[in-house]
Each structure stands twice: as structure tokens, then as C-alpha cells.
Amino acid sequence: MKNYNVGIIGATGMVGQRFVLLLANHPNFKITALAASQRSAGKTYTEAVANRWAMTEQMPNCVKDMQVFDATNDIDKITAAVDFVFCAVDMKKDEIKALEELYAKHECPVVSNNSANRFTKDVPMVIPEINSDHIKIIEAQRKRLGAKRGFIAVKSNCSLQSYVPAIYPLDKKFGVDKCLVCTYQAISGAGKTFERWPEMIDNVIPFIGGEEEKSENEPLKIWGEIKGDEIVPAENPKFTAQCLRVPVSDGHMAAVFVTFKNKPSKEEILSVWKEFSGEPQKLNLPHAPKQFLNYFYEDNMPQTKLNRNLEGGMAISIGRLREDSQYDYKFVCLSHNTLRGAAGGAVLLAELLCEKGYMD
């Protein structure tokens, strides 16, 4: 892979900090611009983050004294300094849409964590192991935006990155008829730590705004197909979801129930998971986990604290596969929400886009 200069929009936030850590050690990407809101603009990264550094690892030296730009007003300086940007900002949806399009129209590709453009018909929403072919829609998007080089590509919501990778290859082989999931989601998914959200200690909150809709609808776009100038979502498999916030720092778990069109044996399911890999593994991308789907045979595994960092937080852990009295099977899945589910997933997507020539 060639080398690229990259920017982080929303660099001071929870996901932004993850980007900083991942990119500070990246073999091909170099951080050359950091941006956030007007509140942070003009400060050094250390001053702008102040006491909000939420990572267990130290802030990397290479960013400590970098000046933070205003994501909107300094766009010319930012786009001049980078080949593309990652974006993870806490703003209103229409503002995020406008900001991401502004960068794309400035001929700067945007790899986004935000939900604002996930259902824009010519914006690919990609889990690189599953629907890497959707990036071909970028040509149609460039035409709409009047851009030659700029575009927007997004990753899906963090909640579904645990169970979609497990369900997708099973659906391709055996046909999934219906699927029910209950997610148990970490507080970092809300950009929080226990210090900043003490109400979450010893507590479960049975509501995460918008999360159940995303968990049910986004998989259908991932299963979708490019038709003309848009990605048309699939109609199946149908998902129903309940999403709970639990007192965990990082790592989203999902309890999954699934019924098949052609019910496989337990051994067949385990074999599909073991064998499944995608474009990132074929291309040997820097953030591709060697083994994407990992099954644990112990009854009490996977556990959030023990397994969320598997393969740098980029692999999916699965366990407790067994027959169910109402669905065919049930099992649990786990993924790291700010790594695979956010910054890591976006870095992997950017690596795919680089390797396929979209960042040149």
C-alpha cells in the first residue's frame, strides 16, 4: 500500500481519540491534520482534549502539540494537508451531511463514522469483509456531487458489527428466515466513561435513542445490491432488535436467535464461521484480523472484558451456539464498539479504499 496523509474531523471525541491511537502507529497513514469544533480550534490537541482523554493508552507524542483546526472554517487548510479524512462528530444530522458533502466537493474523500449519510442511496455503508463490492457506487456518487476525487463512504452502526458478521455467511449458505437480537452495549458507545456518566454504575438503561431502528434497518442496506446509481436495500433477512445500555466500558455483546430456510447442523454452522473471510484478508490489509469470526467452546465465553481486544479489537467473538425451542438456534456475539465498531472499522474501510485506488 502507498503512504497517505490523513486528517481526523472530531479528533477530540471518543471515536476521534481512538483514531488518533490507531493512526499514530499505522504503517501507511500519517496524521497531518486534526479538527473539531470552534471550541477546540486554535488550541493544541493536548489543550483541546484537556481532561477528556478517555483511552487507557497514553496520548501519542506525535499529536500532543498539533494545532486543532475548525472543521468548517479551516476546510481549505485541512484539505490541503491531507489525502483524505476520517469523520466522527457529534452534530445535528443535517449539519453532518452538509459537512461531509463539503469535504467531498473539496475533492477530499471522507470515511465516516456518523450515521447522517448511511441511507444516502449512493453512499456505500461497508463492513469490508461482507460488502466490499458496494464501493463501486462511488463513481455514481462522484457524478452527483460533481467531484472527481472526493466522495463519502461510511461504516455501519456499532451495535450490529457483532451479529451481522456471524449471520451474513450463514444466510448466504442456508438462507436466514428471521433473526432476533438483544444487544448489551458499552457506555463508550455514547462517547462516555464511568467518570462522566456515574449513573451507569450498577445500572442498566433499556433505551438507546435510534439504536433499535439502526440495528434492524442497516443490515438490509449491507445485504443490498447496486442497481443503476444506487444501492437498493434487501428485503430479507428480517431483524428485530432490543438494545440495552449496560455498565461496561467497551464492547458490545448481542444475544442472537435465528431461524433458517434450510436448517443446518451445529457442525455446519461452526464450519461456515471458521472458513469465512473476505477482501481484507485476501488483500492482507494492515487492520484485517487474520481470523475474522472466532468461536469459543467454553460455556461462559466470550466475555466482554476478556475477549473484546481479540486481534486488536478487530475480530468477532462468538459462543454458546445451541438449539432453541422457538427459533432454530441461539448464540452470543461480541465486538469492540470503538475499534471494530467505530474507528478500527473505518480504518479498515479506508485501507480497502486505498488498495482499490479510490484515494489516488
Extract the C-alpha cell encoding 144: 452527483
Extract the C-alpha cell encoding 86: 476520517
Provide the minimum distance between the beta carbon of 43 and ligand NAP in the complex, in angstroms, as a whole number: 9
> Which CB, 71 or 269, lies closer to ligand NAP?
71
Applying CB under 6 A, what is the total number of residues that bind ligand NAP?
A: 27
**Distance separating alpha carbons of residues 41 and 245, to the nearest angstrom:** 32
Query: Which residues are the active-site residues?
Result: 158, 252
| Pattern 248-277, ligand NAP, x by CB under 6 A | ------------------------------
Let me know if 203 is exposed, middle or buried by CB neighbors in 10 A (0-12, 13-18, 19+).
Answer: exposed
Contact 85, 33 (CB under 8 A): yes
C-alpha Rg value of the chain to the nearest Å: 20
Query: Which of 4, 7, 14, 328: binder of ligand NAP (CB under 6 A)?
Result: 14
Provide the minimum distance between the beta carbon of 222 and ligand NAP in the complex, in angstroms, as a whole number: 15
User: What is the 8-class DSSP label of residue 265?
Assistant: P
| Pattern 82-101, ligand NAP, x by CB under 6 A | ------xxxx----------
Query: Which of 7, 169, 191, 224: binder of ligand NAP (CB under 6 A)?
Result: 191
Strand partners, 282: none
Extract the C-alpha cell encoding 116: 447522517
Provide the minimum distance between the beta carbon of 120 and ligand NAP in the complex, in angstroms, as a whole number: 15
Provide the minimum distance between the beta carbon of 191 and ligand NAP in the complex, in angstroms, as a whole number: 3
> Which CB, 109 or 169, lies closer to ligand NAP?
109
Q: List the one residue out of 154, 317, 196 whose CA is nearest residue 251.
A: 317
Query: Which of 333, 342, 352, 359: binder of ligand NAP (CB under 6 A)?
Result: 342
Residue nearest to ligand NAP (CB): 13
Provide the minimum distance between the beta carbon of 341 and ligand NAP in the complex, in angstroms, as a whole number: 5
Parallel, antiparallel or unpaired: strands 110-112 and 152-154: parallel
**Distance separating alpha carbons of residues 10 and 71, to the nearest angstrom:** 8
By CB under 6 A, is residue 13 in contact with ligand NAP? yes
* SS3 state at 177: strand
By CB under 6 A, is residue 162 in contact with ligand NAP? no
CA 218 vs. chain centroid, Å, equals 12
Phi and psi torsions of 196, nearest 5°: -85, -10
By CB under 6 A, is residue 188 in contact with ligand NAP? yes
Phi and psi torsions of 51, nearest 5°: -90, 15
Provide the minimum distance between the beta carbon of 13 and ligand NAP in the complex, in angstroms, as a whole number: 2
Provide the minimum distance between the beta carbon of 176 and ligand NAP in the complex, in angstroms, as a whole number: 24
> Which CB, 181 or 342, lies closer to ligand NAP?
342
Q: Which stretch binds ligand NAP (CB under 6 A): 32-40, 103-111, 207-215, 276-284?
A: 32-40
Contact 187, 193 (CB under 8 A): yes
Q: Which residue type, as a one-letter code, is found at position 308?
A: R
Query: Which of 280, 336, 338, 344: binder of ligand NAP (CB under 6 A)?
Result: 338
**Distance separating alpha carbons of residues 33 and 19, to the nearest angstrom:** 12
By CB under 6 A, is residue 71 in contact with ligand NAP? yes
- Per CB under 6 A, residues contacting ligand NAP are 10-16, 36-37, 39-40, 71, 88-91, 113-115, 158, 188-189, 191, 337-338, 341-342
